[in-house]
Amino acid sequence: MTKDNDSKSLAISGLGSIATDLGEVALDSFLIDGIAKDIPILGSLVGLYKSGVNIKEYIFRKKIEGLINNISKISADELSSFNAQFDNEPDYRVRVAEHLTIIIDRLDDLEKTKLLAKAFSGFVKSKINFEQFRRIARAIERCMIEDLKEVHNFERANDAHSEITYELAASGLIQLVQLPLTASTEAGGTYKITEFGELFVQIVL
């Protein structure tokens, strides 16, 4: 059997194992030299993927890679201040790590890891608190990424159809300011960005 056929057979029978073998090199490098070394919460996330070889774990690894690769530059002082929060509050550290793990697992689009990385960077840099990070992360998880990229278009009142705005409004990013003028199912109300939406734009977009 040729090498190519061997590779195809392995991919069919155990894609997760191939991904794990390749991923261990990249992620071990992150642990040694990257941001995961400086932020223990991220380091603990990286270790989770090594326990199995199935597709779900492969995707989870890709999400972690996306998060780590897109975290913005963080100064030594910012890292020290962030990590100091957990010195005397181990329960808080566990809570943050668990929440981050849950959100990463729920993401339905790998591109969303870029947005989550920006939100987490804002949290590490104390631009937002943990509650605000949770709300932003929830909005990222809940909404389609194409819709999230449209939030800034609501800085002024904007007419839009419900299929575009429903999740954004439910996530608190925009709010209805005027009902449709007609009863038509195709008519859209007038929406405007909320204060939380403005924070989302500032931190994430």
- CATH of segment(s) 147-204: 1.10.10
**DSSP labels for 38-65?**
H-HHHHHHHHHGGG--SHHHHHHHHHHH
pLDDT in tens, 7-64: 544 444 544 554 555 455 555 665 555 666 667 676 666 665 555 546 677 788 889 8
Domain coordinates in residue numbering, the chain = 3-142, 147-204
State the chain's mean pLDDT as an integer: 76
